[in-house]
Amino acid sequence: MTRSTSRRTAAANARPAAGSVDGAPPPALRLTRITKTFGPITAVKNLSLTVERNQVVGVIGENGAGKSTLLKILSGLHEPTSGVMEVAGRPVQFRRPQDAVAAGFGVVHQEQSLLSNLSVAENLAMNALSSTDNATRFGWYRWRQLNREAAETLARVGAAIDPRAIVGDLSFVDRQMVEIARALRVDEQTHATPLVILDEPTSVLERNETAILEREIANLKSVGSVIFVSHRLDEVRRICDRIVVMRHGEVVADRPTGDVTEDDLFKLMIGHAAKADKRSDAGRTVGAQNLVEVRGLTRRGEYRDVSFAVRPGRCLVIVGALGSGRESLARTVFGAEPFDRGEIRYRGDVVSSWSTVRATRNGMAYVPAERRTEGMVGGFSSTENITLARTGARPRFVLNRAGQKKLAREWFQRLDVRPDDIKLSLQRFSGGNQQKVVMAKWLQSDRLRVLILDHPLRGLDPGAAETVNDQIRIARDAGTAVILLADTLEEALDMGDDILVMRDGDVTARFDLSVDTPTTLDLLERMV
């Protein structure tokens, strides 16, 4: 798209056409040969795609396939290098996010974009066009109206969140619900037919929350259209009418959902079939002594009277829905949150003033769910990020530059990080590839004894998830104790030796998978 065309088709013209000449409504969105380059990198290449009205289109693709770039184009964050974009039959150009909102596009990005120092209601009103006018008077907020509107929107996504709460005080999952609520609100705020774009909205949601979202998407379909990006192939098949598969920035398949199986989708995305289940105990080093032991641990408002133990070479999976307290519990074990009662023993000794520094020095690693804010330094290269936590026999300052590069190269290969450029600053990698680098940072440590993983597969495509799980198994088999907060119950059953189920801060069940054979339903029943 040239500059002059862009001027003619500025977003002010983005108002939808009433209908096409032959009477049939034009598609909600048509993209024709869209390309986006970043210097030498072509993130999206000649992409053509149509979204009909009242249709849910799934977009899938392995990490780095170009999905987020496509969504950023649709949300006005990136301008395409070339190609044509039409909304309801009219050419448009989005130069700013407001242009996308004016055209009726509501977006939930993979990385959260809420302002943490503002309240939930203020964040929800931020997109607002007409409703901000109504909600302010002489530049002052009409708080009661703002909060009431926010409460109504939150109720639509089934979220029991106080509109007056400050976003920074909310849990990750609650913030995700606010993001989703904000995107869904676009139809209340604009007169355009909404197109809601969801970029992996369910990756940290539990099943009951996902079910709410699925219901909302079904509602939305009756008033507008939805583009749904997810790595969960079962979910994409359940929710979407059509599925578009991207590889290396291009569309490689565009099929009605009924025509493809999960296996077909996996093959189209990754280029090979899914591997069979690899649960095996052969070659494992399982220690006899408990490495981490927790007794009667309580943190008011989070969890109560929790006890468990993990030995070297074993994986404990903690499952639980929103509010189960498991995230807080994992952070406490790592020394990132305090506790009120009970004790933590590490290698047999009671830990008194436990802190993240002491935990890290003693071979504990914690991979947070929020990699952008907690797990990485975006402006640093991936080599620097990988060697940042290097302690042990050859700490970072002992490794020379060549040593650091060698280490980074080795881990890029092991985790198949793309692009294969260890010098590139980490913020330039796709979300899934950033996650792999954050994992590498901890997995490479030669003193790793305990690995605490909070949703490690979040944002990873199924092929990358397999690669990361393989590396977790390798660390476990070499004698690392793993504490895993799994994304899905299938993952819990696949990876766990022991499973702890939590509900509202209490442990409701424990399973030892060497003797017990719980199903996902058994777990779910104790979670909700």
Ligand X SMILES: Nc1ncnc2c1ncn2[C@@H]1O[C@H](COP(=O)(O)OP(=O)(O)OP(=O)(O)O)[C@@H](O)[C@H]1O
Question: Closest-CB residue for ligand X?
Answer: 432
Question: Radius of gyration (Cα) for the chain, nearest Å?
Answer: 24
Residue closer to ligand X, measured from CB, 16 or 431: 431
Q: Does 165 bind ligand X (CB under 6 A)?
A: no
Using the structure block, give the residue that is written with the tokens 């676009």: 186
Stretch that binds ligand X, among 38-46, 141-149, 173-181, 373-381 (CB under 6 A): 38-46
Plot region of 39 (φ>0 → left; ψ -120 to 50 → alpha; else → beta): left
Q: To the nearest whole angstrom, how small is the minimum distance from the Cβ of residue 246 to ligand X?
A: 7
304 to 17, 33, 301, 482, 500: CA distances (angstroms):
58, 56, 8, 22, 14
Record the tokens describing residue 164, joined without a space.
Answer: 């007056």
**199 vs 454, which CB is nearer to ligand X?**
199
Q: Which is nearer to ligand X, 224 or 431 (by Cβ)?
A: 431
Q: Is 41 in the site for ligand X (CB under 6 A)?
A: yes
Query: Shortest approach of ligand X to residue 349 CB, angstroms?
Result: 41
CA distance 67 to 82: 17
Whether the CB-CB separation of 164 and 147 falls below 8 Å is answered with yes
Return the number of the residue (153 or 202) whose C-beta is nearest ligand X. Answer: 202
Cβ distance 219 to 247 under 8 Å? no
**Which x/- pattern, by CB under 6 A, does the window 55-74 give for ligand X?**
------x-xxxxxxx-----
Among 209, 210, 300, 368, which residue's Cα sits nearest to residue 505?
300
Neighbours of 156 (CB within 10 A): 17
User: Does residue 430 interact with ligand X by CB under 6 A?
Assistant: yes
- Dihedral (CA of 479, 481, 486, 491) sign: positive
Judge whether 61 and 69 are in contact, CB under 8 Å. no
Q: Which stretch binds ligand X (CB under 6 A): 112-120, 213-221, 300-308, 425-433?
A: 425-433
363-383 CB burial, b ≥16 within 10 A, e <16: bbbbbbbbbbeebbeeeebbb
Check residue 382 for interaction with ligand X (CB under 6 A): no
Phi, psi of 137 (to 5 degrees): -135, 120
Nearer to ligand X, 459 or 518 (CB): 459
Matching residue, tokens 């203020």: 122
Q: Left if phi > 0, otherwise alpha if psi is -120 to 50, otherwise beta: which for 348? A: left
Site string for ligand X, 459-498 (x = CB under 6 A): x-x-------------------------------------
Can you tell me the distance from the alpha carbon of 211 to that of 73, in angstroms, rounded to the nearest whole number?
Answer: 28
Residue 372 interacts with ligand X (CB under 6 A): yes or no = no
DSSP state of 200: S
User: In angstroms, what is the minimal distance from the CB of 150 to ligand X?
Assistant: 29
User: What minimum distance in Å lies between the beta carbon of 39 and ligand X?
Assistant: 7
Select from 97-105, 143-151, 172-180, 428-436 the region that touches ligand X (CB under 6 A).
Answer: 428-436
Q: Does 361 bind ligand X (CB under 6 A)?
A: no
203 contributes a contact to ligand X by CB under 6 A: no
Paired tokens of 176: 């995700």
| Min separation Cβ 255 and ligand X, Å | 19
**Is residue 299 within the footprint of ligand X (CB under 6 A)?**
no
If binding is defined by CB under 6 A, does position 433 make contact with ligand X? Answer: yes
Q: How far is the CB of 173 from ligand X (least distance, A)?
A: 19
Task: Pick the binder of ligand X from 432, 496, 505, 518 (CB under 6 A).
Answer: 432
Contact range with ligand X by CB under 6 A, out of 9-17, 35-43, 114-122, 203-211: 35-43
Q: Output 123 or 230, the one with its CB closest to ligand X.
A: 230
Contact residues toward ligand X (CB under 6 A) are: 38, 41, 43, 61, 63-69, 419, 428-433, 459, 461
